[in-house]
Chain A
Amino acid sequence: MNVMTRATADVLITGVAVLSAFGRGMGALAAGLDAGAPAFAPVGRFDVTGRRVGVAATLPGSPDLATELAALVDEACDEAKLSTAERAATPLFLAVHGDPRLARSAPADRPRHGGAAFVAALAAGAGLGAPRAYTSACVAASTAIADAAGIITRGEAARVVVAGGYLVDADQFALFDAGRAFAADGAIRPFSARRRGLLLGDGAGAVVLESAAAARDRTVAPLATLAGWGRAGDAHHPCQPHPQGRGMARAITAALRRGGVGPDEVGYVNAHGSGTAQSDAAEAEALRTALGGHAAAVPVSSTKALHGQALEASGVLELAVTLHALRGGRLPVNAGYLAPDEQCPLNLVLDGARPATPAYALTLNAAFGGANTALLLGAEA
């Protein structure tokens, strides 16, 4: 086997755009995170009659996913100051459940509504090249970001735009309700005693990843570095995490090793923290395995308690959250907390946003299939 390659060419973040239930833009997200008030409210976007739970974190109305993604990709590319020619040479990776129209398309029309066609249309509209769609559930966006970083590090592209989007919809809502995955008390309580499950939230975003050399040539100021990335599988169950967080621990270790960063240099962890009993306990165990004694000291929060579970878009939404933590000087709160759970002995950010200036922060995601990702962001750019 190969020995894991180190990130020999620094991967920078030179543009970002985001949408959440707090509104459109990093400013709205930052204000929501700093305020620390969960965005969950009764769902008005579709009928929830008969569902066990009727709340989600949504923007007003029924925004169109393709329209929102097009705007976000443009915004991120503009922040990165990409020219038309630079856009044309830049691959677009998209994390998405699929074309929202697919499930209601006639069988003969389905090929026009596949994920490949959906991302191709987005790339064509944005003037970007080499479209690729990821449908790997809650690690779709973070996996795309890791793949993009690998491509840049290997010198196969100067930059990659990664976008992701999920807007709360009737079908996924019905599925999660049927699976009894929702928190019946209407709150996500990551790593807390008496946590009851998850809730859905709108989330979408786009990020421009770029080699340090390319950004330097264009004299573009980076927002942060993507210092490391790792992913690994649990090999345990179709939809339950390994109880000891085996895959997540290996993903975190790989991200730190790739970045050449020691566990005690990590100053914040934006956890996957879904608010489910098994997943949070497994993630806490993974942090103990990967970070050792530092796991009990490093500040941790799951901001899903504020903006909800954005499924395929989680990786890009929570990367934006982690960027805010690195650049804003405030770590977002782990909302919804009731009491300690002995299975989750973490230094959670409670009682509001906490002032801090971490040099490095991890953002973690896990998904069905035992898929785990860890992205390591650095503030030193």
Chain B
Amino acid sequence: MNGLRGRAAEAGLRVLAAAGWPGPADAEPPRLAGFVHSNFNPIVAAVAGRCLAELPESAPPDGDDAGTALVLVSDLGDVESAAHVARAVDTGARVGPLFFFQSVPNAVLGHVAARHALTGPVACVCDAASGLDVARGLLADGDAGRVLLIELDHDETGETAAAVLVADGGAS
């Protein structure tokens, strides 16, 4: 259980699965090929995969037309990588090419979408209320059959994340 799950239910969304990061046994997130320097992208991929794995096999399909959308909530994005690039620019140091490919939060969503065959819309917003509203709108308008909503927060101890897979209507 996590706060995102409760807020999704309060928003009138049907929660099909939920997951969080870190769990009791988690230390570092699994490495993610092609992504470097920070834990932002590995955590997003890990919590997304964990949430999708929680989906019961008996769950109805996401619809072969609209598919499952991905909505990422992050106020600061991959700020550790952005700060690294800023330091490199300011000191005349080399910027590694992999930082280009992870320079926007969409990139890791593309990884998640490809790995799990999620063909719905892809969006990134900066606060959870907006993320929930985007998810609700996509479902209400038939632009997605399900939404995988991921929230990543930064605090003094690092990043924490939660994910819910939601569908339209009903209580969880």
Contact = CB atoms under 8 A, between A and B. Distances in A.
Interface of A: 1-5, 50, 97-98, 102-104, 110-111, 113-117, 119, 132-137, 139-140, 143, 147, 150-151, 153-154, 170-172, 174-181, 230-239, 246-247, 250, 254, 367-371
Contact of B126 (A119, A154, A170): A119
A147 B137 contact: yes
Contacts of B77: 98, 115, 135
- The secondary-structure label for the interface of chain B is mixed
B122 A180 contact: no
B69 to A, nearest CB: 7
Best-buried of B108, B119, B134 by chain A (most CB within 10 Å): B119
Interface of B: 34, 62-63, 65-67, 69-70, 74-77, 79, 82-83, 85-86, 88-90, 92, 94-97, 99-111, 113-114, 116-127, 130, 133-134, 137, 139-143, 145, 154, 168
A151 B107 contact: no
A369 B107 contact: yes
Contacts of B63: 1
A124 B109 CA distance: 31
Contact of A103 (B75, B79, B118, B143): B79
Contacts of B101: 179, 238-239, 368
B122 A171 contact: no
Given A133-B130, A232-B119, A4 B110 contact: no
Contacts of A247: 119
Contacts of A181: 100
Given A2-B66, A116-B127, A133-B127, 17 more contacts: A1-B65, A103-B79, A116-B126, A135-B104, A136-B124, A137-B106, A147-B134, A147-B137, A150-B140, A178-B95, A179-B100, A231-B122, A231-B143, A232-B119, A234-B119, A369-B122, A371-B123
B118 A2 contact: no
A172 B95 CA distance: 11
A239 B102 CA distance: 9
B66 A4 contact: yes
A232 B121 contact: yes
Nearest to B75: A114
B121 A143 contact: yes
Nearest to A50: B92
A235 B125 contact: no
Given A1-B145, A103-B79, A236 B89 contact: no
25 contacts: A2-B139, A4-B143, A50-B92, A104-B86, A115-B75, A133-B125, A137-B104, A137-B106, A139-B106, A174-B89, A174-B95, A175-B95, A178-B99, A179-B97, A231-B122, A232-B121, A233-B118, A233-B122, A235-B118, A237-B111, A237-B114, A238-B102, A369-B106, A369-B110, A370-B110
B169 to A, nearest CB: 9
A231 B100 CA distance: 24
A375 to B, nearest CB: 13
A175 B119 contact: no
Contact of A143 (B105, B123, B139): B123
B52 to A, nearest CB: 13
A246 B143 CA distance: 16
B134 A5 contact: no
